[in-house]
Chains A and B, each alone.
Chain A
């Protein structure tokens, strides 16, 4: 059976300094693939590198040899990485994990499904893996095994995202705030945002909201000049800090991040404002410490106040929720690994030949039965002769293909031919999609 080997390091095993040193740029990935491809001991290979991980996945040649060869191949690949990145292998060897066979498959599936990510459930990783696979395909480094392995990893990742809550719920503060805004207002593109304070925090918050297309942005700041500058940057308008109460009549979302020691918006102010705006909903996001917005405002009808701690709590409970969902995801991965394992086993020579023989025998028996039952005038000897002849035709037909399959080695890709044979003759197996 062919083996699958995965060598790599990630954010759990290596500090950022080391990950930086071993990270492959896209050009480095290309040149690494080119050189690995020339290695006669490597059949298929893929290099995958993001800011959190660098991994090399490969299928060594001559899988029937003893373990020693494989260890050599692993060592050789590590040395290759060291040479390619110009770093001593002793520097990073302790941070490496080496997975083989089933473990390598499981690891890949977990990475693709974002279970191995720093932020569980983050959606980018799958796209990055797809990109790495595309490069390997373009370079001609991927064969039957990697093709199937990678496609299986994509489909399991999608399935997990679809059927578990692993990608649900916001896990960052700004995203949690936007999610809340979307559950309060039906259409953010019709809503106006008021920024109290023109600092860096305000700027960051607005950048997120802008990607959600709000209608208008109003900036109020104690130093009016800064308010104007920020408003210009986002095509909004600036108002004097003293005018904030009037501005509140026409806005919907307030993001506050001033350095004030006291509340800049009080309960009484908002009560007055609410009347003037006919109790249209107001959503306050207070990211200042100490707080800018009187928490008592939350008790006013149609006013919702979230401070930085409220948002943090939501994010934390969402992260907990995601972790619960991973149990389900791990089970789905176990199933997928098992299925892949079965497919790999079916690629062995002997079971394929047996399946081929069985299929032919079944066809011969069925056809003879059908024909002979309507030829009653034949003697018993005639019937037996016909049966023998049909059998002979069948076994002659598959004689050469079987001889070809038996003749392994010769530096050819057996798994390729076995896979083709199974598909040509529709020999079934665990391939059920």
Chain B
């Protein structure tokens, strides 16, 4: 059988994601701009190839590649890549590329490790509400992943300053204020996308199953995650939960997202899983 073009493109994209990690690693240690530029261009090219690969798949298979765990991981990596490029353009937090490139590489590594189970054609996974639900949730989670990344960078910088031993990261990371600002932007963007994504999901459920809510494990976990982020934003507005506490919360929030994403699929089950 000949090599499928979309697979080949995805392989190249994966290699580029891994290379971008090397670029950003070089930037972290040497603090030289060319490394960062190389890393950024690698991510940008990888995202482009990734997009073409998915487009080719969609055109030849007549459905979007989100039929199994491996494909949806790939889509989440793509969403993360896009979000990263967007925030990089918007806020110019160069060092965030370290986090993004590592997370992208790990996700793409998993895409290739997890067997690409032949998808059961399920005709209900189609339509406007379904696609809006999927894309908004993936984009929102990607933004929240970046919020978690800035949270980690914040904690690294904060620890050095608080303990009065500015070390390796002191020079390499920007100011606490700036990290907090970028994290907050990622957080609000992610939260907004996730909120609309959940709403479209409920509408889709109503259209297909005739009910908004069916006590599916992933539904419960998603709403739980949403509540945690809502609480964090509330605390930030009304009780001044900024800085360190906010950073820790974004990390906890994203850990729950990862659990919801993978854990529910592998461990529990329900109509969000890919295997029956």
User: A169 contacts which chain B residues (CB < 8 A)?
Assistant: 171
Q: Which of A186, A302, A310, A313 contacts B178 (CB 8 A)?
A: A186
Interface contact B162-A298, CB-CB below 8 Å? yes
Give B139-171 as 1s and 0s: 1 = Cβ < 8 Å from A's Cβ atoms. 000000000000000000100011010100011
A275 touching B240 in the complex, CB below 8 Å, given contacts A180-B166, A182-B175: yes
Q: B165 → chain A, closest Cβ, in Å?
A: 8
Interface contact A184-B176, CB-CB below 8 Å? yes
> Interface residues of B, CB < 8 Å — how many?
21
Instruction: Give the docked Cα–Cα distance between A187 and B241 (Å).
Output: 21
Is B174 part of the binding interface, using a Cβ–Cβ cutoff of 8 Å?
Answer: yes
* Chain A contacts with B in 185-230, Cβ cutoff 8 A: 185-187
Is A183 part of the binding interface, using a Cβ–Cβ cutoff of 8 Å?
Answer: yes
User: B161 contacts which chain A residues (CB < 8 A)?
Assistant: 180, 183-184, 304
Q: Which of A185, A281, A310 contacts B164 (CB 8 A)?
A: A310
User: A186 contacts which chain B residues (CB < 8 A)?
Assistant: 174-175, 177-178, 181
Interface contact A302-B242, CB-CB below 8 Å? yes
Instruction: Give the docked Cα–Cα distance between A314 and B171 (Å).
Output: 13
A301 touching B174 in the complex, CB below 8 Å, given contacts A183-B161, A306-B164, A310-B164: no
Q: Which of B175, B241, B245 contacts A185 (CB 8 A)?
A: B175
Give A295-324 as 1s and 0s: 1 = Cβ < 8 Å from B's Cβ atoms. 000100110101000100110000000000
A184 touching B244 in the complex, CB below 8 Å, given contacts A168-B171, A304-B162: no
Give A161-187 as 1s and 0s: 1 = Cβ < 8 Å from B's Cβ atoms. 000000011000000000010111111
* Chain A contacts with B in 244-286, Cβ cutoff 8 A: 274-275, 277-281
Instruction: Give the docked Cα–Cα distance between A259 and B239 (Å).
Output: 36
Instruction: Give the docked Cα–Cα distance between A302 and B242 (Å).
Output: 8
Instruction: Give the docked Cα–Cα distance between A180 and B158 (Å).
Output: 11
Is B65 part of the binding interface, using a Cβ–Cβ cutoff of 8 Å?
Answer: no
Q: Which of A281, A301, A313 contacts B177 (CB 8 A)?
A: A281
User: A182 contacts which chain B residues (CB < 8 A)?
Assistant: 175
Is B243 part of the binding interface, using a Cβ–Cβ cutoff of 8 Å?
Answer: yes
Interface contact A314-B164, CB-CB below 8 Å? yes
User: B174 contacts which chain A residues (CB < 8 A)?
Assistant: 183, 186
User: A277 contacts which chain B residues (CB < 8 A)?
Assistant: 240
- Bin chain A's interface residue count: 20 to 34
Q: Which of A183, A275, A301 contacts B245 (CB 8 A)?
A: A301
Interface contact A279-B162, CB-CB below 8 Å? no
CB closest residue in chain A, given B169: A183
User: A306 contacts which chain B residues (CB < 8 A)?
Assistant: 164
Give B205-243 as 1s and 0s: 1 = Cβ < 8 Å from A's Cβ atoms. 000000000000000000000000000000000011111
Instruction: Give the docked Cα–Cα distance between A279 and B166 (Å).
Output: 23
Interface contact A302-B244, CB-CB below 8 Å? yes
A184 touching B245 in the complex, CB below 8 Å, given contacts A275-B240, A278-B240, A306-B164: no
Q: B247 → chain A, closest Cβ, in Å?
A: 11
User: B242 contacts which chain A residues (CB < 8 A)?
Assistant: 278-280, 302
Interface contact A279-B243, CB-CB below 8 Å? yes
Instruction: Give the docked Cα–Cα distance between A180 and B244 (Å).
Output: 17
Give B55-97 as 1s and 0s: 1 = Cβ < 8 Å from A's Cβ atoms. 0000000000000000000000000000000000000000000
Q: B180 → chain A, closest Cβ, in Å?
A: 9
User: B243 contacts which chain A residues (CB < 8 A)?
Assistant: 279, 281, 301-302
Interface contact A314-B175, CB-CB below 8 Å? no
Scoring B161, B177, B243 by chain A CB atoms within 10 A of each residue's CB, the highest score goes to: B177
Q: B71 → chain A, closest Cβ, in Å?
A: 40
CB closest residue in chain A, given B173: A183
* Chain A contacts with B in 135-181, Cβ cutoff 8 A: 168-169, 180
Instruction: Give the docked Cα–Cα distance between A71 and B175 (Å).
Output: 58
17 contacts between A and B (CB under 8 A): A182-B175, A183-B157, A184-B161, A184-B175, A184-B177, A185-B176, A186-B178, A186-B181, A275-B240, A278-B242, A279-B240, A281-B177, A301-B243, A302-B242, A306-B164, A314-B164, A314-B166
